[in-house]
Amino acid sequence: MKEHLRLQRICQLGYRLQELGLMPVTQSGSIVLATLHHLMHSYRVTRVPGQNLEQTLYRLGLAVIARHQLQHHFLTPDAVLDFFGRRLLVDRSPATRSQARTRRVESRIAA
């Protein structure tokens, strides 16, 4: 994925985080930077000065693997964005998100 598409995807994640109330609405500044800062802070990853976006997402991917005990050795930057997109239901309409939440709740109750 090209960098501008990654930035657009991060922006979509940021808007979804704001919609869920997990990240404050940024009045000034970049939604992309605010989103990256929020995700890295949530996963306790320190930002290394001078790293490009791909390296930053790679480090975030290692933290995701460790926290969620995934059976992967590493996640590509695009896989990291896909992980958060699925987790936050970014590409779905509000009605579809509601149906997905209902199914998750019902499956937990049935278990």
For 80-111, how does the pLDDT look when each residue is reduced to its tens digit (9 = 90+)?
A: 999 999 988 887 655 665 666 566 666 667 76
The model's pTM: 0.76
How many domains is the chain partitioned into structurally? 1
Q: What is the pLDDT of residue 63?
A: 94
Integer Cα distance of 43 and 47 in angstroms: 11
> Predicted confidence band at 73 (pLDDT cuts at 50, 70, 90)?
confident
Report residue 16 as tokens.
């979804």
Q: Which residue has the tokens 């995807």?
A: 9
> Predicted confidence band at 74 (pLDDT cuts at 50, 70, 90)?
confident
CB 46 within 8 A of CB 40: yes
Amino acid type, 86: R
Q: What is the pLDDT of residue 56?
A: 94
Burial class (CB in 10 A: 0-12, 13-18, 19+), 47: middle
Higher pLDDT, 3 or 103: 3
CB 108 within 8 A of CB 89: no
List, for residues 10-52, the tens digit of each pLDDT value: 999 999 999 888 988 877 788 999 999 999 999 999 988 899 9
Q: Which domain holds residue 51?
A: 3-110
Ranges assigned E (strand) in 1-73? none
Q: What is the pLDDT of residue 72?
A: 83
The 10 Å Cβ neighbour count of residue 97 is: 17
